Amino acid sequence: MKVLMIAPQPFFQPRGTPISVLHRLNTLSRLGHKIDLVTYHLGENIPIQNVTYRRMVNLPFVKKIKIGPSTTKIFLDIFLLLKSLKLLITNRYDVIHSHEEAGFFATWLAKIFGTRHLYDMHSSLPQQLTNFKYSKFKPLIKMFELLERNTITNANAVITICPELFNYVNEKFPSKKQMLIENVADNSVIFGEEKKSLNIRDKYNVKHKTLVLYSGTLEPYQGIDLLIKSSKIVLQKNKDVVFMVVGGHADQIDQYKKMAEDYGVLDSYIFTGQVKPYEVKDYLEAADILVTPRIEGNNTPLKIYEYLRSGRPIVATNHITHTQVLDTNVSVLTEPNAKAFASGISRILNDDELKRAIIENALKLSEDKYSYQAYINKTESIYSVLGNGKY
**Are 208 and 294 part of one and the same domain?**
yes
Which pLDDT does position 220 carry in this prediction? 92
Mean pLDDT of the chain: 93
pLDDT above 80: residue 55: yes
pLDDT at 278: 84
Looking at residue 391, its pLDDT comes to 32
Per the domain annotation, does 189 fall within a domain?
A: no
Same domain, 365 and 375: no
pLDDT for residue 311 is more than 70? yes
- State which residues form the domain around 236: 195-369
Q: Would you say residue 190 lies in a domain?
A: no
Q: Cα–Cα distance between 171 and 23 in angstroms, integer?
A: 28
pLDDT at 44: 94
Shared domain for 218 and 84, answered yes or no, is: no
298 Cβ contact partners less than 8 Å away, ≥ 6 residues apart: 123, 124, 127, 131, 162, 164, 165, 320, 321
176 pLDDT higher than 60: yes
Instruction: Give a yes or no: residue 365 inside a domain.
Output: yes
Q: Does 116 share its domain with 264?
A: no
Instruction: Examine the domain organization and report whether 362 and 225 are in the same domain.
Output: yes
Q: pTM for this one? A: 0.87
Q: What is the pLDDT of residue 214?
A: 98
pLDDT at 133: 59
- Higher-confidence residue: 249 or 68? 249
Please give the Cα distance from 222 to 266 (Å, whole number).
Answer: 19
132 or 332, higher pLDDT: 332
- Count of residues making up the chain: 391
CA torsion angle for 93, 147, 18, 326 (degrees, to 10)? -120
Q: How far apart are CA 245 and CA 273, in angstroms?
A: 8
Give the pLDDT of residue 135: 61
Residue 235 and residue 126 share a domain:
no
Q: What is the pLDDT of residue 283?
A: 95
- What's the rounded mean pLDDT across residues 163-190? 91
**Rounded average pLDDT over 179-200:** 78
Give the integer Cα–Cα distance in Å for 68 and 118: 22
7-28 tens-digit pLDDT: 999 999 988 899 999 999 999 9
Q: Residue 357: exposed, middle, or buried by beta-carbon count in 10 A (0-12, 13-18, 19+)?
A: middle
Asked whether residue 390 carries a pLDDT value surpassing 80, the answer given is no
Q: Is 391 a member of any domain?
A: no
> Is 224 inside a domain boundary?
yes
Q: Would you say residue 218 lies in a domain? A: yes
Are 180 and 215 found together in one domain?
no
Q: What is the CATH number of the domain that holds 155?
A: 3.40.50.2000
267-307 pLDDT, tens digit each = 999 999 999 888 899 999 999 999 999 999 888 989 999 99
| Statement to judge: residues 163 and 287 lie in one domain | no
3-state secondary structure the chain: CEEEEEECCCCCCCCHHHHHHHHHHHHHHHCCCEEEEEECCCCCCCCCCCEEEEECCCCCCCCCCCCCCCHHHHHHHHHHHHHHHHHHHHCCCCEEEEECCHHHHHHHHHHHHCCEEEEEECCCHHHHHHHCCCCCCHHHHHHHHHHHHHHHHHCCEEEECCHHHHHHHHHHCCCCCEEECCCCCCCHHHHCCCCCCCCHHHHCCCCCCEEEEEECCCCHHHCHHHHHHHHHHHHHHCCCEEEEEEECCHHHHHHHHHHHHHCCCHHHEEEEECCCHHHHHHHHHHCCEEEECCCCCCCCCCHHHHHHCCCCCEEEECCHHHHCCCCCCCCEEECCCHHHHHHHHHHHHHCHHHHHHHHHHHHHHHHHHCCHHHHHHHHHHHHHHHCCCCC
Whether residue 207 sits in one domain with residue 161: no
Instruction: Report residue 189's pLDDT band, with 50, 70 and 90 as the boundaries.
Output: confident
Q: In angstroms, what CA-CA distances link 223 with 219, 316, 323?
A: 8, 11, 16
- Predicted confidence at residue 196, as pLDDT, reads 53
For residues 129 and 149, membership in a common domain is answered with: yes
Band the pLDDT of 197: cuts 50, 70, 90.
low
Residues 6+ apart with CB under 8 A from 193: none
Strands 289-292 and 210-215: parallel
| CB-based burial, 83-98: b 16+ in 10 Å, e otherwise | bbbebbeeeebbbbbb
117 residue type, one letter: H
pLDDT of 389 > 50? The answer is no
Structural domain includes residue 265: yes
Q: Do 363 and 376 fall into the same domain?
A: no
In a shared domain, residues 170 and 311: no
Count of the separate structural domains present in the chain: 2
Q: Is the pLDDT score of 184 beyond 70?
A: yes
